[in-house]
Amino acid sequence: MKRATLWRRGGVDRRRPPLVRRLPAVVAVLVALSLNAPPAFAGPTPASSGGTGPRAGSVAGSSTSGWNGRIDWRACPERPDDPGTRCGTLRLPVDWARPGGDTFDLALARRTATDPAARVGVLVFNPGGPGLSGVDVALTADTQLGPDVLRRFDIVGFDPRGTVRSAPVRCSSALLARHPSLTPASAAEFERLRSYNRQLRDDCRAQSGPLFDHLDSVSVARDTDAIRAALGERQLSFYQWSYGTLIGQAYAELFPDRVRALAMDSVMDHSQGVREYVRSGAASNEALFHEFVTWCERTANCALHGRDVPALYDRLMRRADAGTLVDAGTGATLTWFELGFATFVNFFDATWADLANMLFALERGEAADPPLASPMVPVDSDQSLTEYALPAFCQDWSLPVDGFADWNRYLELSRAAAPHLRASPLVVRFTAICLGWTATNPQHLLRVRTSSPLLVLNGRYDPATPYDGAQRVTRQLGTQGSLLTYEGSGHASYPRTECTRSGVERYLISRETPPAGASCPAAPA
């Protein structure tokens, strides 16, 4: 009983300052859109493990000179005077099925353990996205991870292929700026969206080179094992969150004996078909909406306190349907989907006061502060090309929609699960962006055969990775999987409370997993 209560210890850690939470920056990207050890411990390179994988370098970064498995370490431009942090590049195959073909340079950074005598090994930190930078995470590890983890682990982060410093995918800015509606209202608009997606794929491929066709998580997992081999490590430990958990899952499937520890925070369930993906996402966001409503009912300084918030929201939706809901800040008329998306971004960090103020401003026809978020990809209008990381999602997820009638059936299913929100805006956005794609790494039940214990951490109310998905992933992991539930709202649970922090850190250091049914109380809103 005593052990179980440790996992339910809530509140703020008074022994050290709370970790700096970088979630707002992460939300911005999601909305826009992510040490050498002794050579004697080196294992076989990924190429020796067989299997398939895709990867190709960008126009500027591709090469046919082969790869040698060595990391070129040098001082980081961002931290030139820090001897404990180094940046490097590792030349890797674009396509792991053709290791002698084209290559690209993968960017990575390493922060060495602060106590070499207590060093456990290498901890790979991937923040997901797709499109977020693991290099940036490593460079700011002291704000991301607790001191006990920093003391015992070399922190390694890398920018996954096709992103940031690793031969990023680029597409025509002018074409991205002409993106049609993500919620087609007719068969003609549906076909226009599908045709546009095909045109954009061709453009991005032409601008980015062969790497464009090899962005899936299986290929990134093979890149990760190449990093392990280059570092001379027998095993790796992982903290991965959100989209990064797909990479962790793929790595554990491909290289189960090379996983020392794998903590998956805000985990993606990669077994769902399109119907479950639509239903689960909608239900999760509707539950978050009601968490907001409950907060507003009990919080006197909520801008909508004492009001019937669900009824108000339904009125705003009807105004959007009628074409009379206007964002006074931009003068743009909002659709139901754009209202839902602007609502959804406040779910990431449970910014309930901002959401209440936004709805109050929309009701009164005033400009919202902060401004409403847009679901469209931000375009670098000053440049002819814009970096665009979202194609990686379409290579990992098969979301077939046969036609406009099929599209409407999924929206009806979604609305049944979310009568106020009508849908998960993230699900609708990705389904629309990936319309017409054929996934190279489609969904499947996890097949992980490892002797290492594995940790899943998920919020009860998570807008992007629903809690029921975390339950399914844990079951798929079998006896090796353990689920720690954060009883609060938001995306990414590790930084939320002392309980979630200590649970993850205890696991990473000692591989101690929580007892069945363990949970951490929600942080105060």
CA 237 – CA 319 distance, rounded (Å): 50
| Structure confidence by residue, pLDDT tens digits, 32-71 | 443 222 222 223 334 333 333 333 333 334 444 566 789 9
∠ Cα 240 241 242 (to 5°): 140
Q: pLDDT digits over 247-298, tens only?
A: 999 999 999 999 999 999 999 999 999 999 999 999 999 999 999 999 999 9
At 66 the pLDDT is: 63
334-359 pLDDT tens trace: 999 999 999 999 999 999 999 999 99
Residues 238/262, Cβ–Cβ less than 8 Å:
yes
Provide CB contacts within 8 A for 190, sequence distance 6+.
184, 403, 404, 407
Residue 4 has pLDDT above 80, yes or no: no
Q: Choose among 238, 234, 229, 239: nearest CA to 258.
A: 234
Please state, in angstroms and rounded to a whole number, the distance separating the CA atoms of residues 83 and 128: 27
Cross-strand partners of 85: 111
The per-residue pLDDT for range 142-175, each reduced to its tens digit, is: 999 999 999 999 999 999 999 999 999 999 999 9
Q: Which residues pair with 154 in a beta bridge?
A: 122
pLDDT digit string, tens, across residues 37-46: 222 222 333 4
With CA atoms as reference, report the closest residue to 149 among 238, 89, 55: 238
pLDDT(3) > 70? no
What is the residue-wise DSSP string for 408-450?
Answer: HHHHHHHHHH-TTT-S-HHHHHHHHHTTT---SS---------
Asked if residues 433 and 193 have their Cβ atoms less than 8 Å apart, the reply is no
Give me the mean pLDDT over the 309-327 stretch: 97
- Mean pLDDT of all residues in 444-455: 96
> How many residues can be counted in the chain?
525
Comparison of pLDDT for 59 and 525, the residue scoring more: 525
**Beta-carbon contacts of residue 419 (< 8 Å; ≥ 6 apart):** 286
Token couple for 155: 């922190």
Query: Under CATH, which number does the domain 2-169+215-271+444-520 receive?
Result: 3.40.50.1820
Cis previous bond, 466, omega within 30: no
pLDDT at position 49 is: 36
Concatenated DSSP letters of 163-220: BTTBS--EEEHHHHHT---SS--SHHHHHHHHHHHHHHHHHHHHHH-GGGG--SHHHH
DSSP 378: P
**Burial class of residue 18 (count of CB atoms within 10 Å of its CB; 0-12, 13-18, 19+):** middle
**Would you state the pLDDT for residue 382?**
85
pLDDT in tens, 375-425: 988 888 889 999 999 999 999 999 999 999 999 999 999 999 999 999 999
d(Cα 202, Cα 436) in Å, to the nearest integer?
Answer: 13
Amino acid residing at 360: F
What are the residues whose beta carbons fall under 8 Å from the beta carbon of 479, sequence distance 6 or more? Answer: none
468-486 tens-digit pLDDT: 999 999 999 999 999 999 9
Strands of 299-383, DSSP E = 326-327, 332-333
What does the DSSP 8-state code read for residue 21? Answer: P
Average pLDDT across the chain, whole number: 88
Q: How far is CA 503 from CA 152, 350, 440, 458, 482, in A?
A: 16, 22, 35, 12, 11
What average pLDDT does this structure show over 433-443? Answer: 96
Q: Give yes or no for a contact between 239 and 431, defined as CB atoms under 8 angstroms apart.
A: no
CB-based burial label for 413 (10 Å; 0-12, 13-18, 19+): middle
Give domain limits for the chain: 2-169+215-271+444-520, 274-364
pLDDT by residue (tens digit) across 93-149?
Answer: 999 999 999 999 999 999 999 999 999 999 999 988 899 999 999 999 999 999 999
- Rg over alpha carbons for the chain, rounded to the nearest Å, is 23
The strand pairing partners of 368, in sequence order, are none
Phi, psi of 442 (to 5 degrees): -70, 170
**Please, what sign has the CA dihedral across residues 168, 174, 177, 182?**
negative
- How confident is the model at residue 30, as a pLDDT? 47
Q: Can you give the pLDDT at residue 107?
A: 97
pLDDT value at residue 67: 67
Handedness of CA 255, 26, 165, 119 (dihedral sign): negative
pLDDT tens digits for 182-201? 999 999 999 999 999 999 99
Nearest to 233 by CA among 70, 90, 39: 39
State the pTM of this model: 0.88
User: Is residue 215 within 8 Å of 395, Cβ to Cβ?
Assistant: yes
